[in-house]
A = this chain, B = another copy of it.
Amino acid sequence: MYGMLGRMKAVPGKRDDLLALLLDSSGSMPGCLSYIVAKDAKDADAIWITEAWDSKDHHDASLKLPQVQAAIAKARPLIAGFDSSAETEPVGGIGLASAPKG
């Protein structure tokens, strides 16, 4: 498995708009086992995204999906920056969806 997690800062006041875009774009992504979008509890502009994929190839391919490309274009003006990111290798747990074929 392949994973990533990271914190994104929205332009002040735009976190909810950015969250909506992130959720809209993540509907159907081949090989995606988990993609959870969360508000940071302490920073009103910060969003955490945690991801698990069956492979890095499927993660990389997701960035070329039409709905993801469209979301990236819409999201760009709402993003102030990124911090605290890490690559991971998920090993198991609760809530790893079955990967759709793709």
Contact = CB atoms under 8 A, between A and B. Distances in A.
A36 B93 contact: yes
A23 B93 contact: yes
A66 to B, nearest CB: 18
A17 interface: no
How many copies of this chain are found per oligomer? 2
A73 interface: no
A38 B37 CA distance: 17
Interface of A: 1, 3, 5, 7, 19, 23, 26, 29, 32-42, 48, 50, 52, 84, 86-97
Q: Which 8 A-B residue pairs are closest in the complex by CB-CB distance? A: A34-B95, A38-B88, A41-B87, A36-B93, A38-B90, A35-B94, A39-B89, A95-B97
